[in-house]
Amino acid sequence: MDHMNYETNIPNYRMILGILYGVGININRILGKGIFNLDIIFKLVSPGIALVLFAFCAIISLLGGLIYNELGIRSLPHGIGEQKYITDAYPKERNLGHVFSYVIIFIILPGAMVADSYNCSQYILFVFRGYFNNDYDYIAVIISVLILLVITLYHVFSKRLPDIINLALAVIKVISLIIISMIGLVRLAGTDSDNWNNIFNTSSNFDAYGFGAYGNGLIQILYAYEGWNSVNYLIEEITIPESNNLVYPSHILKYSSLISIAISFLLYFFTNAAFITVLGNGLTRNEDIPIALRFGKELLDGTGEKLMSIIVAISSFGSVSIMSLKKKILDKMDKVPDNENANDKNKPFSISKYIILFYFLIIILIIIASLFPPEYGNVEYLIPYIISCVATILSFIFWYYLNPNQNERSDNENEEPNVQVNEVKGEVNISFNNEIK
């Protein structure tokens, strides 16, 4: 392969379009149902603390974005996400990155896609029914299956159509949240400003349950930011003007995740601020109707409920669409490609090691905090952790039994032969590992 370089003669407009494409991909994944499914967060912490946690989680996501940018650029021209990064980090263990792939292909992505598609179907049905069916809803299941079928079909039979749909959905989401934010700012200038009084009041104490409430609140909000690394998986789907020039995909990776996180934080913050402004004390009220729909009802009665329901359905649909595209990329990768740009692997990191250490410590602290119960008698929060742990253990078992010969061969390849050169009666005998050849 030709030598990779970082010199560019790519026009600025094309570079900007590439970055906007990456931002659109990330935004369409980030802005899913999480921004509208805030009831559980406000049950755990007060509205004011929730805003602080949204800002804190944005910082954590930015740190993660910096690290993923570095890893993504080093793995160019390929873009397979963590599968490639883990394999490059542990080259002696063949296909170790498949451990992550097994989990994300068989557990994480299918689970998230089913949940979001079912969520999308529920909000679609709400437009016609005017209520949520809390029992097992067969119609919602059928619609969610049809949603997955439609998304799968346009990803399988077209390469351009998914891009158009995904970017269009991202634009719709951003415009909708900007309008919601502006409504909040307008209402804040009036008498609704009183709804911001005592927004930091909370019933949680700083004990084991309070610690668990904050930890689980952080997990919920971090999940709402999930998706800022989507372009790391899809970088190969972007047309690169010069196959041996890495500046184009490098700039897309470098800027798209950071810009998308910044945009998401602003939209999250001001959307939540609008909910606080309009709903006030009703924000934390335990009701069957989600906060987003109560917001719409407060503004436009039943019409507002239906409009917000459509926006939530669109958000969930777009998120499933990006996850389907990521899964398509991972499914077709039965072998992690070698890094043609191997010289970059030995370059020092462009980000400080203290940033990496700080990010690692924060994540460990959040995991520890999230293991504490948010309230007495609540054990449901442990279910995702149990599923993840079991899936990871099974993945290591599959990897070990599917790659035993490769691992042994890798060890043998890394052994240095014991070479001895002996001169006997004018002949040269070369001995490898004490064996005369």
Domain ranges of the chain: 14-387, 403-437
pLDDT digit string (tens) for 154-178?
A: 988 888 888 899 999 999 999 999 9
pLDDT band at 34 (very low <50, low <70, confident <90, very high): confident
pLDDT digit string (tens) for 290-349?
A: 888 889 988 888 899 999 999 999 999 999 998 887 776 666 655 555 555 544 555 666
Q: What's the longest Cα–Cα distance across the chain?
A: 105
CB atoms within 10 A of CB 93: 18
CATH for 14-387 is 1.20.1740.10
- What is the pTM (predicted TM-score) of this model? 0.79
> Number of C-alpha atoms within 13 angstroms, CB side, residue 244?
5
DSSP 283: G
Whether 29 and 322 have beta carbons less than 8 Å apart is answered as yes
* Residue 221 pLDDT: 86
* Residue 406 pLDDT: 53
Q: What is the average per-residue pLDDT within 140-147?
A: 94
| CA pair distance 326, 333, nearest whole angstrom | 11
215: amino acid identity, one letter: G
378 SS3 class: coil
Provide the percentage of residues in the chain whose pLDDT is more than 70: 73
Q: What is the torsion angle, in degrees rounded to the nearest 10, for the CA atoms of residue 142, residue 144, residue 148 and residue 151?
A: 110
Average pLDDT, the chain: 77
CB atoms within 10 A of CB 300: 13
- Which backbone phi and psi does 93 adopt, to 5 degrees? -100, 105
- Judge if the upstream peptide bond of residue 348 is cis by omega within 30 degrees of 0: no
Helix, strand, coil percentages in the chain from 3-state DSSP, rounded to 5: 70, 5, 25
